[in-house]
């Protein structure tokens, strides 16, 4: 958002970010993900849920990214746009302009994809690459999926987004490609863009129904920035509702309970939280070099050093290059389970150190029915938010994850994994029906902003009652929820789209229909009156400053001499023989219209097996090759 808004030199933008610049080795090096997600740190807010009533009152770890790039600086780097049907369901539920055909041009616009074709863009800022691992595990896992009767696809974001296959990754030349790398860093030299890092927003000041200023802290020092234009709140799925409530915008009863005066009653704030829970299954392995072997003892240091000095080695990998999107039962028109196959034993997000080689499956329910909420525990703006995910509160959610565990076991039992599989360590072969659940990925929370409720499309109401803040951001969408649409790329697509509207490049969309989202970007277009925070600075771009030592303190003040990437104007461009207008919807791309059922994935039963394996015809459907025109 900051990068797009500041393309217009007449607009002055201040970005306030609680974390740092996020350019250290750990963030840049894809293999750093294991360290980044497991502990509270300068990169990770490290929240915990409240005791979860349907999980034996356990509290679950919620990593959230901190610093420029947000959660894209600590995430798993899987490039996943979500299933087209998820977007169409949004559109059908009343969110006009959010159907697959509407959003696809924005995905293409943001992608710097290694694939070409009508479903992908190649010259966008978000770099997407295939995995580099030479481990035989990934191919064996995909083959095992095939042997278990599922289709194979070579592009989860292509025409066949279902089945087993390799993930594409937001990695460029062996380097994590965060949202900041893609959008913000190339814009650093702009004189109209100021970035305040280590600056934590504590409140939005609403006066007379209009958001007029932001209070924030730099260290212990309170600061205030006043906006004559707009304030855009993009602090993610957890802290956007938290900040609104701290500002008196939300449910009166809840805010009164913690001593906050209501300035705008908006009961949906913090409600309708949806998160996909991961069940993690671990196996001991043989014949594989897994993360344990790669980084045990002093090798970890060696991996980091080699990567830092040469950019080479296993530091370039995220150890998560294969997975699946599959349905849990017949009759579903698209998958409701995602599998990540990780070349590591994972216990409690890696908080419990592995002591042997192994692999894990992360089985995730894509469209949970359970609904939770984000709230406040006190009026202290520096306190962690209250997170009540309310996982597994419905029979269907419990069914899907039980089925996922059964499927996971079935897949790992296939012949293709015979050379590499040893004992199941967790939940353990004797555990049937119950196992320990952990969450890994992104919370897909969003306030209850359905069109007929509080502040959604068409309603045209802004959360502050129509005043100075058009809240926009990534994570608070409408009532329908999509498979993995809470991931990084859909968020960037939403930012891209929202600021297309803000920047008057709507490609034919009606700006009146833009989604007033709540989502750490605070922007002040037009004019800006604020004391420049002591830690506000413009960051040098590492690509243009190759001499910059990784992790060094960025230079403060002053403009960078480097050139910004010129804004890409609309207009015609020729690509792969297809002439298209940038910013306009591309021709409709068909994706499979038939309902996807387990049968549509599976060939006829071969009727053989050893009693524990489900043997299906390995000649079942295979989805691969280039995407159809």
In DSSP terms, which residues pair with 434 in a beta bridge? none
DSSP 8-state symbol, 273: B
Q: Give the one residue of 151, 236, 250, 268 binding ligand FAD; rule: CB under 6 A.
A: 236
Interface with ligand FAD includes 77 (CB under 6 A)?
A: yes
Q: Is 148 exposed, middle or buried (0-12, 13-18, 19+ CB in 10 A)?
A: buried
**Closest approach of ligand FAD to the CB of residue 85, in Å:** 18
Q: Give the one residue of 74, 152, 277, 366 binding ligand FAD; rule: CB under 6 A.
A: 74
Interface with ligand FAD includes 323 (CB under 6 A)?
A: no
Omega before 214 cis (within 30°)? no
Stretch that binds ligand FAD, among 13-21, 125-133, 409-417, 524-532 (CB under 6 A): 13-21
Interface with ligand FAD includes 19 (CB under 6 A)?
A: yes
Q: What strands lie across the sheet with 528-529, from one edge to the other? A: 199-207, 210-218, 221-227, 528-529
Q: Give the one residue of 76, 124, 408, 533 binding ligand FAD; rule: CB under 6 A.
A: 76
Region class of 618: left (phi > 0), else alpha (psi between -120 and 50), else beta: alpha
Distances (CA, A) of 18 to 67, 202, 385, 444: 6, 10, 15, 21
What's the CA gap between 140 and 615, in Å, rounded?
Answer: 16
Interface with ligand FAD includes 438 (CB under 6 A)?
A: no
Q: Give the one residue of 6, 135, 197, 201 binding ligand FAD; rule: CB under 6 A.
A: 201
**Closest approach of ligand FAD to the CB of residue 214, in Å:** 9
# binding residues, ligand FAD (CB under 6 A): 40
Contact 581, 571 (CB under 8 A): yes
What's the CA gap between 613 and 9, in Å, rounded?
Answer: 63
Q: Give the one residue of 2, 37, 227, 364 binding ligand FAD; rule: CB under 6 A.
A: 37
Q: Give the one residue of 14, 26, 225, 234 binding ligand FAD; rule: CB under 6 A.
A: 234
Contact letters for ligand FAD, residues 495-534 (x by CB under 6 A): ------------------------xx--------------
Pairing mode, if any, of strands 210-218 and 221-227? antiparallel
What's the CA gap between 486 and 209, in Å, rounded?
Answer: 30
DSSP 8-state symbol, 58: B
Stretch that binds ligand FAD, among 322-330, 434-442, 453-461, 463-471 (CB under 6 A): 434-442
Between 241 and 479, CB nearer to ligand FAD: 241
Interface with ligand FAD includes 158 (CB under 6 A)?
A: no
Interface with ligand FAD includes 16 (CB under 6 A)?
A: yes
Residue 305 contacts by C-beta under 8 Å, 6 or more apart in sequence?
A: none
DSSP 8-state symbol, 78: B
Stretch that binds ligand FAD, among 70-78, 87-95, 260-268, 562-570 (CB under 6 A): 70-78
Interface with ligand FAD includes 338 (CB under 6 A)?
A: no
CA atoms within 13 A on the CB side of 451: 14
What's the CA gap between 564 and 7, in Å, rounded?
Answer: 10
User: Considering only residues 439-458, where is the footprint of ligand FAD by CB under 6 A?
Assistant: 440-442
Interface with ligand FAD includes 342 (CB under 6 A)?
A: no
Residues of the shown chain interacting with ligand FAD in the complex, contacts defined by CB under 6 A: 16-19, 37, 63-67, 70-72, 74-78, 80, 200-201, 234-237, 239, 243, 440-442, 473-475, 486-489, 491, 519-520
């Amino acid at each position: 958002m900051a990068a797009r808004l500041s393309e217009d030199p007449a607009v002055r933008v201040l970005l306030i970010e609680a974390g740092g610049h996020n350019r250290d080795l750990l963030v840049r090096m894809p293999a750093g993900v294991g360290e980044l997600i497991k502990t509270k740190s300068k990169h990770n807010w490290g929240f915990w849920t409240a005791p979860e009533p349907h999980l034996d009152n356990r509290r679950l770890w919620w990593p959230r990214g901190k610093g420029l790039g947000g959660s894209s600086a600590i995430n798993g780097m899987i490039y996943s746009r979500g299933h087209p049907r998820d977007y169409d369901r949004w559109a059908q539920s009343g969110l006009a302009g959010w159907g697959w055909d509407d959003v696809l041009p924005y995905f293409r616009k943001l992608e710097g994809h290694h694939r070409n074709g009508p479903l992908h863009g190649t010259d966008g800022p978000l770099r997407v690459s295939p995995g580099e691992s030479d481990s035989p595990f990934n191919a064996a896992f995909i083959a095992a999926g095939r042997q278990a009767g599922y289709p194979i696809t070579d592009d989860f974001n292509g025409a066949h987004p279902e089945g087993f296959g390799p993930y594409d990754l937001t990695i460029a030349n062996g380097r994590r490609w965060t949202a900041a790398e893609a959008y913000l860093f190339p814009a650093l030299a702009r004189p109209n863009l100021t970035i305040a890092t280590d600056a934590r927003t504590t409140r939005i000041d609403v006066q007379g129904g209009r958001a007029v200023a932001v209070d924030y802290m730099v260290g212990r020092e309170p600061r205030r920035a006043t906006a004559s234009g707009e304030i855009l709140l993009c602090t993610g799925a957890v802290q956007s509702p938290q900040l609104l409530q701290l500002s008196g915008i939300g449910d009166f009863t809840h805010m009164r309970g913690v001593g906050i005066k209501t300035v705008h009653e908006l009961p949906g704030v913090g409600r309708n939280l949806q998160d996909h829970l991961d069940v993690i299954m671990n196996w001991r392995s043989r014949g594989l070099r897994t993360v344990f072997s790669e980084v045990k003892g002093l090798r970890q240091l060696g991996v980091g050093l080699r990567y830092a000095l040469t950019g080479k080695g296993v530091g370039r990998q995220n150890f998560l290059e294969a997975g699946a999107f599959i349905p849990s039962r017949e009759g579903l028109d698209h998958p409701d389970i995602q599998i990540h196959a990780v070349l590591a034993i994972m216990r409690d997000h890696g908080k419990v150190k592995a002591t042997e080689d192994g692999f894990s499956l992360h089985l995730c329910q894509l469209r949970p029915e359970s609904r939770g909420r984000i709230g406040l525990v006190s009026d202290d703006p520096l306190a962690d938010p209250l997170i009540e995910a309310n996982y597994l509160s419905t029979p269907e959610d419990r069914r899907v994850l039980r089925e996922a565990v059964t499927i996971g076991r079935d897949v790992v039992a296939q012949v293709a994994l015979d050379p590499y599989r040893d004992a199941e360590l967790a939940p353990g072969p004797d555990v049937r029906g119950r196992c320990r659940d952990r969450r890994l990925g992104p919370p897909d929370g969003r306030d209850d902003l359905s069109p007929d409720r509080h502040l959604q499309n068409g309603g045209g109401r802004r959360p502050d009652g129509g005043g100075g803040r058009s809240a926009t951001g990534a994570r608070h969408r409408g009532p329908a929820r999509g498979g993995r649409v809470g991931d990084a790329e859909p968020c960037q697509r939403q930012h891209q789209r929202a600021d297309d509207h803000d920047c008057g490049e709507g490609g034919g969309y009606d700006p009146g229909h833009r989604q007033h989202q709540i989502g750490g970007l605070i922007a002040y277009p037009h004019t800006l009156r604020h004391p420049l925070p002591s830690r506000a600075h413009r960051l040098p771009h590492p690509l243009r400053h190759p001499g910059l030592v990784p992790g060094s303190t960025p230079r403060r003040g002053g403009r960078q001499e480097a050139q910004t990437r010129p804004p890409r104007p609309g207009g015609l461009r020729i690509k792969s023989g297809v002439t298209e207008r940038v910013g306009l919807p591309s021709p409709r791309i068909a994706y499979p219209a038939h309902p996807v059922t387990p049968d549509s994935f599976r060939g006829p039963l071969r009727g053989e097996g050893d009693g524990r394996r489900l043997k299906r015809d390995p000649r079942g459907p295979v989805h691969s090759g280039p995407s159809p025109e």
